[in-house]
Structure 1
Amino acid sequence: MHPMNISRAVARLRAKDRLVSTTDSLNHRRRNLTLTDAGRAIYHDLIISAQEQARSLLEVLTIAERQFLTAILDRLLERALEIAAPARGD
C-alpha cells in the first residue's frame, strides 16, 4: 500500500476510536498501532465473514485441486517475499 493510503486509513480508524497510536519507546520516529476493543470486534467479524466466503468459494474444488492450489500459492508467496526482501532491507 502507498504510505499516504495507510496514513489516511490510520487517521480514519483513530477518528472512529477503532485504533490507538503510541510512540515506540526505542524509536521515537516509529508509531505502534493497536486495535481498540471496538476495532478487534470489527476485525473478528471480518475474519469470520472472510473465512465463510473462502469456504464457499473453494467448495467447488476437489481435495487434490485444493492441495494443488495451495502449493502454487505457497510458491508465489515465497517468490513475492524474495522480491520484496531487498526493498525491506532483509
Structure 2
Amino acid sequence: MSQRTVKIESKVGLHARPAALFVQTAAKADGDVTVAKPGGKPVNAKSILAVLGLDARHGEEVVISADGEGAEELLDALEAVLKQPEPESA
C-alpha cells in the first residue's frame, strides 16, 4: 500500500467542496483508499460522510493511502486536491 502525508491548504479544510472533490477522485480507484489524521484511525476516502467526519482543517496534515495498480498516480491526484488553496469551480 502506498501512502503519503499531505498538508491541507484549503481555507475550509477538508469540508464541503474540497471534500466532495477528494471523494470523487478517490472513487475512481479500484482498490482501497483511506485517509486519516496522523496517528488516527483510517477511514474510507470514498465515503463523503467518513471524510467529513475526520474534521480535518486548514493547515492540518492527513495521511492518504491507496493500494492497487495506479496507487501512486491516485495519491498524486488526491494530493493536488488537498493542496488547492481554494476549490475550483465545477
TM-score under structure 2 normalisation? 0.29
Greater helix fraction, Structure 1 or Structure 2 = 1
Q: Which fold has the larger relative contact order, with Cα–Cα distance below 8 Å and residues 6 or more apart in sequence?
A: 2
Structure showing greater Rg: 1
Please state which structure has a larger fraction of its residues in strand.
2
